[in-house]
Amino acid sequence: MKSVYIIGRDTLPQSISLGEGEQLSLTIVYASALEGAPAEADIPLTVSLDGRGASLDIAGLYICKGESRLRLKVDVRHNACGCTSRQLFKGLVADQAKAVFDGLVYVAHGAQKTSAAQESHAILLSAGAVAENRPQLEIYADDVECSHGATCGQLNDDELFYMRSRGIPEDEARRLQILSFLSPVLSRLPEDLAESIMK
């Protein structure tokens, strides 16, 4: 499997199963301004941790501009004992664009010693932009560690003022803020891809 999927260029499997001790790390990228990116994208992905001790590390980055629409539906299913999943999604939504993150963490009956973490954060860059985070946990085992965090917000004014007070012009300061916000996912990408996304 590839480790980076760019929506519009690569075909992401809809369903992945991980067997005993198997590890998977993957990063999904959607940027409406990238060449080949569809204006509307509906991305369903199910990853099932079916074998004992399997581990998943998944990240996603989306930048929706104009009238673009993105729906990311990620189901992570812990079906076996001792599996680990880490999810981190970061997105920017500008103009009249809309992004929806629908994330389910499912822990089956008997999938003890599960460790699952899900983070999804979106920043709205204009008044007409919409971002929705719908994190869900469905847990049927009792010995599990699950955490999730979801936020929708704006760029922080205090950070912006701090940078401007050092002489960094407002546009450049906003670019640095965006870089700061996206960096945990950007750092997983090849440098040239990260650069073309930041343009």
Partner 1 sequence: MNEVLLEIKDLHAGIEGKEILKGVNLTIRRGEIHAVMGPNGAGKSTLSAVLAGKPSYTVTSGSVTFAGKDLLAMSPEERAWAGLFLSFQYPVEIPGVSFTAFMKAALAAKRKAAGLPELSPAEFLRLLKEKMAFVQMKPEFIKREVGVGFSGGEKKRAEVFQMAMLEPVLSILDETDSGLDVDALRIVAEGVMNLHTEQTSAIVITHYQRLLDYIVPDVVHVLKDGVIVRTAGRELVAQIEEKGYEGIL
Give phi and psi for 50, each to the nearest 5.
Answer: -95, -20
Fill in the per-residue mask, 159 to 198: x = in contact with partner 1 (CB under 8 A), - = not in contact: x-xxxxxxxxxx-x---xx-xxxxxx-xx-----------
| Site membership for partner 1, residue 33 (CB under 8 A) | no
* Subset of residues 67 to 96 that bind partner 1, contact rule: CB under 8 A: none
Q: Which residues, listed in sequence order, are joined to residue 27 by a DSSP beta bridge? A: 4, 59
Closest C-alpha among 89, 45, 36, 93 to residue 70: 93
Cβ–Cβ under 8 Å, residues 80 and 112: no
Alpha-carbon gap, residue 167 to 124, rounded angstroms: 25
Site stretch for partner 1 (CB under 8 A), options 45-53, 110-118, 126-134, 157-165: 157-165
Q: Nearer Cβ to partner 1, position 47 or 189?
A: 189
Q: How many CA atoms lie within 13 A of 178 on its CB side?
A: 21
Site stretch for partner 1 (CB under 8 A), options 11-19, 72-80, 103-111, 155-163: 155-163
Q: Nearer Cβ to partner 1, position 57 or 159?
A: 159
Residues that bind partner 1 (CB under 8 A): 156-159, 161-170, 172, 176-177, 179-184, 186-187
